[in-house]
Amino acid sequence: MFALSYWRCVPPLALAAGLGACSGGIGSPGSPLPSAAAQTTIPGPIPAVGIRSLGLDTRVRPAGKSNLIYASNTLGEDVDAWPNPDTENLGPTCAIGAPYQTLKYVKGFAVDPYGYLVVPAEISNSAPYTWTVSVWKPNCNARVWQVELPSNEIAVDAYSNGATNGAVLAVQRTSSSAVNGLVVCAPSGCGLPFTNPAITYANGVAVSKKGECWLQGSGQGSVYELVYFPNCNGSGELATGVRNSSGYGLFIDTEGHLGSIDGQAEKLWVYSGCNPACSLVSQSTLMNTPVYGGLDAKGENLVIGDPCECGETLDVYKYSPTSGATYSYSITNEVGADWGAHFSPRNKKT
């Protein structure tokens, strides 16, 4: 086992100003970090709120292929990875999490353009329960950093354009003292939530390379809402022109369009703009119970977790912005209650 040395290389305000993460401080095997110049930092501010960094343990199951399909199992304690493509339904090739670390109740998660994995999860087996966000090197490899979320918050989705620097989470409240919104996290800790009163139940988040954030979920009466945060902070602006019945996963395609997965209507909605006015680009039909998903490195294929009671699957589609999603095949081998699925690496032109 290798121990990771870790320190607060870049303070939150410096990260917000566009400085990259340190290149040192990681004494573990695995692929090298992308250069700071190659990454897009997460906008701020990212105020430290007393969240401590956790000790890091790099033990994982054997590394897999360079192209993978990750999936989260909300009833398990790990995140598994299948080969990409897996038209032969071969089953997982590697995993992170159990038995070396508990990663429970993972729904939405993220993969950045470099293949780094961002996992919001509950890691404790007894009260008081601890929710964290952790970042892992490509191919089921070593963990890079991990921090706790503020108390009374659970994260249900994540997005990052450079995970060694930070990630943005969609968080839900677990008590009347907490709120639904988006939270910016970095290796130094997580900030306070940015919220909009229109969303009372947050589900999905996306971040552009320009530093814009979108948060989707439901409001009063379970009505679908999408909120645009121009700088990933403040209270945001309510988006107009949306057609969804519900909203779970969000992604940004190679043309900069926003893809929204509507589990209730079993549709994929693709919008342009949404800053805050949305224009519909395409709509297409999805399989069964689509929840969270994302595009591959070329932006030509889409994978979505489908935890349908009729049989859990990872559904793969051909994708283009103008025609949306066209069903290709499903993975069933050793698939559990997988709410989320992502290609690794994902598309870079977002």
Residue 254: left (phi > 0), alpha (psi -120 to 50), or beta? alpha
Three-class SS state of 274: coil
Confidence of residue 173 (pLDDT cuts 50, 70, 90): confident
Q: Are strands 110-111 and 153-159 parallel, antiparallel or unpaired?
A: unpaired
- pLDDT value for 350: 60
Confidence of residue 179 (pLDDT cuts 50, 70, 90): low
Q: Stretch 60-66: mean pLDDT, rounded?
A: 51
Q: Contact 34/40 with Cβ under 8 angstroms? A: no
What does the mean pLDDT of the chain come to?
82
Q: Contact 108/170 with Cβ under 8 angstroms? A: yes
Q: How far is it, in rounded angstroms, from Cα 148 to Cα 172?
A: 15
Confidence of residue 242 (pLDDT cuts 50, 70, 90): very high
Domains in the chain and their CATH numbers? 12-344 (2.120.10.30)
Look up residue 150 and give its amino acid.
Answer: P
- pLDDT value for 175: 64
Which position has the higher pLDDT, 254 or 54?
254
DSSP assignment, residue 291? -
pLDDT at 128 over 90: no
- pLDDT value for 293: 98
> For the ranges 19-33, 108-122, 174-188, which has the lowest average pLDDT?
19-33
pLDDT at 52 over 60: no
pLDDT at 262 over 80: yes
Q: Using the Cα atoms of residue 230, residue 233, residue 238 and residue 243 in order, give the sign of their dihedral.
A: positive
Confidence of residue 124 (pLDDT cuts 50, 70, 90): confident
pLDDT digits (tens, 9 = 90+) for 264-304: 999 999 999 999 999 999 999 999 999 999 999 999 999 99
- pLDDT value for 65: 57
Q: Stretch 33-57: mean pLDDT, rounded?
A: 36
Q: How far is it, in rounded angstroms, from Cα 105 to Cα 78?
A: 9
Confidence of residue 309 (pLDDT cuts 50, 70, 90): confident
Confidence of residue 152 (pLDDT cuts 50, 70, 90): confident
